[in-house]
Amino acid sequence: MTAPKTGLRAVPRTVWALGLVSMFTDISSEIIHSLLPVFLVTGLGASVALVGLIEGVSEATASITKLFSGWISDRLGKRKLLVLIGYGLATLTKPIFPLAVTPFEVMAARFADRIGKGIRGAPRDALIADITPNGGRGAAYGLRQSLDTVGAFVGPLVAMALMVVLAGDMRAVFAWAVVPAMIAVVLIVIGVEEPRGIARSVERGPPIRLADVRGMGRRFWSIVLLGVVFTLARFSEAFLILRAQGVGLPIALVPLVLVIMNVVYAGVAAPVGALSDRIGRRKLLAAGLVVLLAADLVLTLFGGVAGVLVGVALWGLHLGLTQGLLSTLVADAAPAPLRATAFGLFNLATGLSLLAASVIAGLLWATFGAQATFLAGAGFTLVALTGLILAGPRHRDREAAD
């Protein structure tokens, strides 16, 4: 008898395809985003507070959209169409960035791009849960996150190469981001298969009703609360880029910040996801918070390029230890007919939290300086870690029941 496949070998083909779609989309996005904060501040005259507002509003928009796309996906019992629409819309926004002449045009493009992210996010995450056995979900979500993050460090590398080839012309660099975005759309069409018999929500009415809230259960809402506090401690990576530039990293090398962060992130996410299937999620989440606390302190206390890059690497380690696990916890806790809606609710809550975190970070930076921003992040991290420790016995009981 052939032994059943385990770990990454058991991950379905469609999950690999979705991971590659995420990878090419992130290559496209990070070609732009690795330079965008500097472009806004030095090229278009935006303040750091406005950068925080743009990033926060953009992510909150994505989260609100995920709520509605998740509900629509559950109502239709369909995932692939919404995934295709979401990635397609993001592709259409890419030409706006090289043509922008004011920060508000960039904000509009980011707004539309994040709507695309919101449309695709919950159906994609629900599709992974639909096609992956319970015992392999950590590996599946970790793999998709790792491939996504490969794109997140390849994109900045491409941006640095293009900055050299194109003599530092950021607008010309942005124009090249269209190519990998189009590849991602083609991969969805030819590589993503939707399974038959997806559980459908038969309820009609608004996206979220009191009955839905009750139906999610206390366990799901405890995970939402955990995600909110996690997100308050982790504001936009745009501030990492601005911190590195502020301590003397040349503009042409600024994308190196996201390269370092995402190399660590990509290398950690998949093995951590697979490990969580064996030992549980809570200890790994706690370790991620300890690492984030260390990252904030390094970014506060060290003012040289080397110190900031160490802090950036720790930030990436934190992401690898936590982000895939939070998605896995949602998939574990959500009722199958409301799975995409559950992801929408979770992303709505954490997106609004990220909006608050990024606005607070921008205001602190503008008023008191960069160190105040990262000290505030350390404070929120301590709150999240304390809450996770206090909830320890309940989380252990739940993990044992999975």
- In a domain? residue 205: no
Kindly state the tokens that stand for 8.
Answer: 């990454």
- In a domain? residue 4: no
Kindly state the tokens that stand for 372.
Answer: 């105040």
Consecutive 10-residue averages of pLDDT for the chain (402 residues): 53 88 94 92 89 82 74 79 93 94 92 88 84 78 82 90 93 96 95 71 55 73 85 84 90 89 84 81 88 94 92 93 84 76 80 85 91 92 85 48 38
- In a domain? residue 130: yes
Q: What is the pLDDT of residue 4?
A: 47
Instruction: Kindly report the three-state secondary structure assignment for every residue of the chain.
Output: CCCCCCHHHHCCHHHHHHHHHHHHHHHHHHHHHCCHHHHHHHHCCCCHHHHHHHHHHHHHHHHHHHHHHHHHHHHHCCCHHHHHHHHHHHHHHCCHHHHCCCHHHHHHHHHHHHHHHHHHHHHHHHHHHHHCCHHHHHHHHHHHHHHHHHHHHHHHHHHHHHHHHCCCCHHHHHHCCHHHHHHHHHHHHHHCCCCCCCCCCCCCCCCCCHHHHHHHHHHHHHHHHHHHHHHHCCCCCHHHHHHHHHCCCCHHHCCHHHHHHHHHHHHHHHHHHHHHHHHCCHHHHHHHHHHHHHHHHHHHHCCCHHHHHHHHHHHHHHHHHHHHHHHHHHHHHCCHHHHHHHHHHHHHHHHHHHHHHHHHHHHHHHHHCHHHHHHHHHHHHHHHHHHHHHCHHHHHHHHHHC
- In a domain? residue 28: yes
Spatial separation of the C-alpha atoms in residues 244 and 164, rounded to whole Å: 19
Number of domains observed in the structure of the chain: 1
- In a domain? residue 106: yes
Domain encompassing residue 160 = 11-194+210-401
- In a domain? residue 231: yes
Closest by alpha carbon to 308, among 247, 378, 221?
Answer: 247
Q: The pTM is what?
A: 0.72
Closest by alpha carbon to 65, among 336, 340, 338?
Answer: 340
- In a domain? residue 203: no
Give the domain CATH number at 75.
Answer: 1.20.1250.20
Q: What is the pLDDT of residue 173?
A: 96
- In a domain? residue 333: yes
Q: What is the pLDDT of residue 197?
A: 57
Q: What is the pLDDT of residue 206?
A: 54
